[in-house]
Amino acid sequence: GNSVTQMEGPVTLSEEAFLTINCTYTATGYPSLFWYVQYPGEGLQLLLKATKADDKGSNKGFEATYRKETTSFHLEKGSVQVSDSAVYFCALSYAGNNRKLIWGLGTSLAVNP
Protein backbone atom coordinates (compact mmCIF):
# COMPACT_ATOMS: atom_id res chain seq x y z
CA GLY A 1 0.00 0.00 0.00
CA ASN A 2 0.90 3.66 0.07
CA SER A 3 3.13 4.82 2.90
CA VAL A 4 5.60 7.48 4.00
CA THR A 5 8.66 6.87 6.16
CA GLN A 6 10.53 9.69 7.83
CA MET A 7 13.72 9.65 9.81
CA GLU A 8 13.09 9.53 13.51
CA GLY A 9 13.80 12.52 15.66
CA PRO A 10 14.43 14.47 17.56
CA VAL A 11 17.06 16.25 15.53
CA THR A 12 19.13 18.82 17.41
CA LEU A 13 21.35 21.26 15.53
CA SER A 14 23.24 24.42 16.21
CA GLU A 15 22.26 27.59 14.42
CA GLU A 16 23.65 27.85 10.85
CA ALA A 17 24.13 24.08 10.59
CA PHE A 18 23.02 22.14 7.52
CA LEU A 19 19.75 20.24 7.82
CA THR A 20 18.60 17.05 6.13
CA ILE A 21 15.42 15.23 7.08
CA ASN A 22 14.97 12.03 5.13
CA CYS A 23 11.65 10.97 3.66
CA THR A 24 10.97 7.94 1.50
CA TYR A 25 7.67 6.76 0.15
CA THR A 26 5.86 3.80 -1.32
CA ALA A 27 3.08 4.55 -3.74
CA THR A 28 1.41 3.33 -6.87
CA GLY A 29 1.23 5.71 -9.76
CA TYR A 30 2.58 9.23 -9.52
CA PRO A 31 1.81 10.85 -6.18
CA SER A 32 2.28 14.47 -5.25
CA LEU A 33 4.70 15.01 -2.35
CA PHE A 34 4.56 17.57 0.42
CA TRP A 35 6.42 18.86 3.43
CA TYR A 36 4.34 20.45 6.17
CA VAL A 37 5.69 22.21 9.26
CA GLN A 38 4.07 22.46 12.69
CA TYR A 39 5.31 25.19 15.01
CA PRO A 40 4.66 24.78 18.75
CA GLY A 41 1.01 25.21 19.64
CA GLU A 42 -0.11 25.61 16.04
CA GLY A 43 -1.61 23.57 13.26
CA LEU A 44 0.34 22.26 10.32
CA GLN A 45 1.10 24.50 7.38
CA LEU A 46 2.40 23.69 3.93
CA LEU A 47 6.13 24.30 3.58
CA LEU A 48 6.69 23.08 0.02
CA LYS A 49 5.45 20.58 -2.53
CA ALA A 50 6.37 18.79 -5.75
CA THR A 51 3.89 17.23 -8.11
CA LYS A 52 6.05 15.24 -10.52
CA ALA A 53 9.39 13.51 -10.75
CA ASP A 54 12.49 15.76 -10.67
CA ASP A 55 10.45 18.74 -9.47
CA LYS A 56 12.11 20.76 -6.73
CA GLY A 57 9.93 22.46 -4.16
CA SER A 58 11.38 25.36 -2.23
CA ASN A 59 10.28 27.86 0.39
CA LYS A 60 11.90 29.87 3.22
CA GLY A 61 15.32 28.44 2.34
CA PHE A 62 14.08 24.84 2.47
CA GLU A 63 14.28 22.58 -0.57
CA ALA A 64 13.21 19.07 -1.50
CA THR A 65 13.52 17.23 -4.82
CA TYR A 66 11.07 14.55 -5.96
CA ARG A 67 13.30 11.56 -6.77
CA LYS A 68 11.30 8.79 -8.37
CA GLU A 69 14.29 6.49 -8.85
CA THR A 70 14.96 6.43 -5.11
CA THR A 71 11.34 7.15 -4.07
CA SER A 72 12.58 9.95 -1.85
CA PHE A 73 11.72 13.56 -0.99
CA HIS A 74 14.39 14.64 1.48
CA LEU A 75 14.09 18.06 3.08
CA GLU A 76 17.22 20.24 3.20
CA LYS A 77 18.23 23.67 4.39
CA GLY A 78 21.69 25.10 4.17
CA SER A 79 21.69 27.16 7.34
CA VAL A 80 19.04 26.63 10.00
CA GLN A 81 17.83 29.26 12.43
CA VAL A 82 16.38 29.00 15.92
CA SER A 83 13.02 29.95 14.41
CA ASP A 84 13.07 26.74 12.33
CA SER A 85 12.52 24.69 15.49
CA ALA A 86 9.34 22.76 14.75
CA VAL A 87 7.99 19.36 13.73
CA TYR A 88 8.27 18.54 10.03
CA PHE A 89 5.88 16.15 8.27
CA CYS A 90 6.36 14.48 4.93
CA ALA A 91 3.16 13.49 3.11
CA LEU A 92 1.93 12.18 -0.21
CA SER A 93 -1.34 12.32 -2.05
CA TYR A 94 -1.89 9.32 -4.24
CA ALA A 95 -3.51 8.93 -7.59
CA GLY A 96 -7.19 8.22 -7.31
CA ASN A 97 -7.78 10.20 -4.16
CA ASN A 98 -5.70 13.31 -3.86
CA ARG A 99 -7.74 14.55 -0.94
CA LYS A 100 -6.56 11.79 1.37
CA LEU A 101 -2.98 12.50 2.33
CA ILE A 102 -0.70 9.79 3.67
CA TRP A 103 1.45 11.23 6.47
CA GLY A 104 4.79 10.43 7.96
CA LEU A 105 5.08 10.41 11.73
CA GLY A 106 6.89 13.74 11.84
CA THR A 107 10.44 14.72 12.75
CA SER A 108 11.06 17.13 15.58
CA LEU A 109 13.82 19.69 14.99
CA ALA A 110 15.39 21.77 17.75
CA VAL A 111 17.87 24.48 16.76
CA ASN A 112 20.08 25.87 19.50
CA PRO A 113 21.60 29.37 19.36
Q: Which residues of the shown chain bind another protein in the complex (CB under 8 A)?
A: 32, 34, 36, 41-46, 49, 51, 89, 93, 98-101, 103-106
Taking the least distance from each CB to another protein, the nearer of 82 and 105 is 105
Taking the least distance from each CB to another protein, the nearer of 9 and 17 is 9
Taking the least distance from each CB to another protein, the nearer of 42 and 69 is 42
Listed in sequence order, the residues at least 6 apart from 31 whose beta carbon sits closer than 8 Å to its beta carbon are 2, 25, 92, 93, 94, 95
Alpha-carbon gap, residue 111 to 104, rounded angstroms:
21
Taking the least distance from each CB to another protein, the nearer of 34 and 84 is 34
Min dist. Cβ of residue 8 to another protein (A): 12
Closest C-alpha among 100, 31, 18, 37 to residue 67 = 31
Min dist. Cβ of residue 16 to another protein (A): 29
Alpha-carbon gap, residue 105 to 30, rounded angstroms:
21
Is 64 in a helix, a strand, or coil?
strand
